[in-house]
Chains A and B, each alone.
Chain A
Amino acid sequence: MKRGTPPAPQTRAGRPAVSRSRRKEILVREEILGTNRKVAAELRKRFEERGVLAVNMISSPGAGKTALLEALADRVKGRFRMAVIEGDIETERDAERIRRKGVPARQITTGGACHLEAKMIGKVIPSIPGDVELLFIENVGNLVCPASFDLGESLRLVLLSSPEGDDKPKKYPEAFLSADVLIISKADLFPHLPFDAARAAREALDVNPRLLVFVISALTGQGLPEFVEFLAARLAALRHA
């Protein structure tokens, strides 16, 4: 004779006790970029203790980040020791361009990711010369995503090149909001374009009133001496802090 299924043992509340699952809520309230922020904070401390001015450069692809670094390499030679970390989705090309200027450069290829993260910087730090004073980090060309990731830098630059148009700051506010410095690049092209540099600067300052604005041409060198003096002052301030 076959026995029927025995009745499930009952809990006091009258529910079957066999499936003892219950649901539970866990309050977290944690910023999900918290881990990146922690790693970035450690990097920043390390840079500042060693007197390194770390500079994170953000822009759309082709705004002239590498060209600006090449021009800076010539200007700071013999005055400051400079090194570059290059972030790109693929290829070693930008690092090679920098090395041709006699400046140590380390390429990070993200293999698809549209931004650099603090832990990627942490990984390559051991291959950067220990006595560097100006460490530039060229982020992946993208005006949106890199803005969310702190890399431990002390200075964040956003580049806006004249061919991109003067209406970009309000269309892509994130990068402008988080930067310390706006570089309006490719100034030599102003005569050929309907670009209004004053409007671009005004829009960017509306988004972030504490931005410092430089107008630069990597091609002609316009605005570079002022920018180098600004970097020198920031480096001195960091060292005497």
Chain B
Amino acid sequence: MHELSLVASLFDVIECHVKEQKPKAVTRVRVQLGRMSGVVPELFETAFDTYKKGTLAEDAELEIVVVPVKARCRSCRRIFRPAPDAYSCPHCGSDRWKLLEGTDIVLEKIEIEI
């Protein structure tokens, strides 16, 4: 379980983007979690709520958007969304494909009060 250290990195990125503006508070944080990022949204939320205490984001609301997996087939070049536990291209059956989306943890936007 590494949600807490991910949240720590999240706060580093937030800090880096708000410090110039000297906000009174961070009020909303929107994060995209890839379905294959290895992060459990509920655990991420708990870690966020623990970590935010005593920071500028003390009362911030966390919004999580789960990003589905998207892949491109290397044989037929088509883009598809692999279902959990399905590891071949639904168009041609090939198992040679490249993940395009769904593995990252992205800080999408922040709302601050200034």
Contacts and interface: CB of A to CB of B under 8 A. Distances in A.
A23 B111 contact: yes
Given A31-B105, A34-B13, A36-B9, A114 B114 contact: no
Interface in A16-37: 21-36
A32 B105 contact: yes
A113 B99 contact: no
Interface stretch (A4-12, A187-195, A204-212, A215-223): A204-212
B111 A32 contact: no
Contact of A177 (B17, B88, B99): B99
Interface string A178-196: 0000000000000000000
A156 interface: no
Q: How many residues of B sit at the interface, in one of the four size bands?
A: 35 or more
A148 B107 CA distance: 16
A170 interface: yes
A17 to B, nearest CB: 15
Contact of A147 (B23, B38, B106): B38
B2 A145 contact: yes
Interface string B18-49: 10010110010001000011100000000000
B112 A26 contact: yes
For A21, A24, A36, A170, the residue with the greatest tally of chain B CB atoms inside 10 Å of its CB is A24
Interface string B100-113: 00011111111111
Given A174-B36, A177-B36, A206-B95, A30 B2 contact: no
Interface class of chain A by DSSP? mixed
Contact of A32 (B1, B10, B85, B114): B10
B interface majority secondary structure: mixed
Interface residues of A, number: 32
B38 A29 contact: no
Given A113-B5, A170-B85, A209-B96, A25 B109 contact: yes
A106 interface: no
Given A32-B9, A113-B5, A24 B112 contact: yes
B95 A25 contact: no
Nearest to A34: B13
Nearest to B12: A35
A9 to B, nearest CB: 20
A206 B87 CA distance: 6
A144 interface: yes
Contacts of A144: 38
Given A148-B37, A148-B38, A29 B107 contact: yes
User: When A and B form their complex, which 4 residue pairs have the shortest distance between CB atoms, in order from nearest?
Assistant: A206-B87, A145-B2, A174-B38, A28-B107
